[in-house]
Structure 1
Amino acid sequence: MLPPTEKDRVAPLWSLVDDGAGFDETLDALISAGLRELPGFVLVSEEDDETRVVIRGAAQVHLAAGDDVVHVVGDDTTTWVERSVPGVTRVRIEVADDVPEPGAEGALDGLLDGGLVRLAAAEHPPTADEADEVVVPPPADHDGLTRAPQTVPVDVPAPPGIPGQEPAPPVTARPVARLVLPDGETVDVDRSVLVGRAPEASRIVTDGAPRLVAVASPHQEVSSTHLEVRPGSGADHGLAVATDLGSTNGSVVVQPGLPPEELRPGVTVQLVPGALVDLGDGVTIEVVDA
């Protein structure tokens, strides 16, 4: 995926991929003219059991792997952000802040035979009611990235946790923690909790229907969908974990007995009882036992 200003790059790159070029060869060709002339891009490769992602600029890639979701968030201040994740069953790429839900006004569904298209988000495999071959549908009239369409099979069941779908989400039998908000209100962490000025579930790949928690931010320092707190899995089972969702001003966690830690966007951090999460603008959330 490339910005709309880079349409001339797409055709030769797509031809290169059609001829069998791998991830590294494609990346080399993409940046051969220098990064200064390329403000942003998204490159995703699926090879064997590993999915590789490289992002430059404002974009997000969400990778569902088993019970976990890995969030890879682009950064304008670095060369690029790169991750490799094994066992990925579904990928969602977002390149716009306001992504319409499937079927909503401004969203386009249907088959594309060729050409370049604008999009705000894409999923692989795409959501479909019947096994068929379709192209990931782009929302219309959005300032997103430009790419050549790719036909992909859709006879693979979609796992839970992809925006735009409403599966029955698994939740923990009892909360793993409780969040104490600045106004004294408490929120149970028995599922995903999205915190921000005006949080939206469509901004994040997560398990099921999350709890949306709006907090006041007089100086607009807290992002609309700033932070996710959810029950952990694997080594984090039984505890709450937090992920900064690429917020503008970041999040800082202070664990008992440890120095403050600034959360890296998309990187999950375990929270212990007594932890404090500072979102800025006077918004601090305390983590306590459920």
Structure 2
Amino acid sequence: MTTVLKSYRPGSWYAVLGDHVTVLVPAAERHRVGALWELVDGGATRDEVLDTLVSGGLSSLSGVVLLGRRFDETQVIVRGAAVVVLTTRDGSVEEIDGAAAQTWVERSLGGVVSVSVRLDESEDDDRVISTGLVRVARVDVPPRQAEPEPEPEPEPEPEPEPEPEPEPEPQPEPEPEPEPEPEPEPEPEPGPEPEPQDVPTEMFAPVAPPPPAEPAARRAVAVLAFSSGEVIEVDRPILVGRAPEARRFALTEEPMLVTVLSRNQEISSTHLEIRPGTGVDEGHALVTDMGSTNGTVLVQPGQGPEDLQPGIPVRLMPGAVVDLGDGITLSVSATT
């Protein structure tokens, strides 16, 4: 299966990005995101995703962008405040505005080489992703290239300075008479050559290369204690679920997969992610709901229960408890 890279800018819309189907809905449709992620991540077709979107009636759907591909045709459905721009091999460009119809605008176009979905204004940098669940203001396939900085204008060349007038050449002085060459001294008779000394072989032995530097040990930022008995340190990304998959991660960032039992199927296949924080969150663990069907509940110390929003990371405090459903919880503690 070919993985298609995309780029996005962070924004308010939810983007469910799959290998075959991509669907985007505004923030008001947050309640649909979990079911859409289960469909797209499970390999559903465009028509199956469309059936789910309109199952409650078209009037209840405030906006959507649905992208699919059938053979050489790119299939697009746009509704609401969204614009999709398609560019074909021959250089033609078609712009599809979802606000131009009361229902939706649908197009099927062959030979498409790039797709740009524009939702909100955003000055953030573009980020590259293959599949996953993110909040976006714009999505481009293939990834959008950064605009080059303008070249500085060339400085004007300085005017050449006038060449100085040549100085008069001096008159040649008379050459002195050559001195007589001294007679050569007789060469001394050669003495006996010194005997060669044995050179220690160590001088010519190859120098052993220094041992490779050991990779820096990963520092754990928290410890997770699962109600099922497992205790895991958070020193890398951790995916938790019924059958977690790591398809959206790069080869250089291999996550740990933790499988939990869900007798009533309340826990999604890839339910949530816990990873070490970076930047202002460095030294802390972050938890993110991966668009689970039944959601995730977080209880921080001294606070009430909080439903995690899909795709939005939250810092975990020591003493926090995360409830995945089906009786599975995990407790967070600091490292010793």
What's the TM-score once normalised by structure 2's chain length? 0.45
Q: Quote the residue 1:252 is aligned against.
A: 297
| C-alpha distance in 2 between matches for 1:175 and 1:216 | 25
**Relative contact order (C-alpha < 8 Å, sep 6+): which is higher?**
2
Q: Quote the residue 2:270 is aligned against.
A: 225
In the alignment, structure 1 residue 182 sits paired with structure 2 residue 227: yes
Unaligned runs of 5+ in 2: 1-21, 23-66, 78-83, 107-113, 134-139, 147-214
Distance 1:34 1:13, change over 3 A: farther
| C-alpha distance in 2 between matches for 1:206 and 1:229 | 18
Q: Quote the residue 1:117 is aligned against.
A: none
Matched residue count: 180
User: Aligned AA for 2:275?
Assistant: R
| C-alpha distance in 1 between matches for 2:304 and 2:121 | 27
Q: Quote the residue 1:199 is aligned against.
A: 244
For the residue of structure 2 that corresponds to 1:202, the secondary structure is: coil
Distance 1:13 1:235, change over 3 A: closer
User: Aligned AA for 2:86?
Assistant: W
Q: Quote the residue 2:328 is aligned against.
A: 283
User: Aligned AA for 2:294?
Assistant: N
| C-alpha distance in 1 between matches for 2:132 and 2:118 | 13
What's the TM-score once normalised by structure 1's chain length? 0.51
Distance 1:263 1:84, change over 3 A: farther
Q: Quote the residue 1:29 is aligned against.
A: 97
Distance 1:243 1:221, change over 3 A: same
Contact 1:91 1:123 in 2 (8 A): no
Unaligned runs of 5+ in 1: 46-51, 55-81, 96-121, 126-149, 154-169
User: Aligned AA for 1:284?
Assistant: T
Superposed displacement of residue 250, structure 1: 0.9
| C-alpha distance in 1 between matches for 2:302 and 2:251 | 30
Contact 2:246 2:254 in 1 (8 A): yes
| C-alpha distance in 2 between matches for 1:176 and 1:200 | 23
Contact 2:131 2:248 in 1 (8 A): no
User: Aligned AA for 2:265?
Assistant: Q
| C-alpha distance in 2 between matches for 1:263 and 1:200 | 20
In the alignment, structure 1 residue 88 sits paired with structure 2 residue 88: no
Superposed displacement of residue 85, structure 1: 7.1
Contact 2:241 2:260 in 1 (8 A): yes
| C-alpha distance in 2 between matches for 1:85 and 1:222 | 36
Q: Quote the residue 2:285 is aligned against.
A: 240
User: Aligned AA for 2:296?
Assistant: S
Distance 1:31 1:218, change over 3 A: farther
| C-alpha distance in 2 between matches for 1:256 and 1:83 | 37
Distance 1:178 1:281, change over 3 A: same
In the alignment, structure 1 residue 268 sits paired with structure 2 residue 326: no
The alignment yields a C-alpha RMSD, in angstroms, of: 4.0
| C-alpha distance in 2 between matches for 1:31 and 1:93 | 27
User: Aligned AA for 1:228?
Assistant: E
Percent sequence identity over aligned pairs = 42
User: Aligned AA for 2:97?
Assistant: A
For the residue of structure 2 that corresponds to 1:14, the secondary structure is: strand
In the alignment, structure 1 residue 215 sits paired with structure 2 residue 254: no
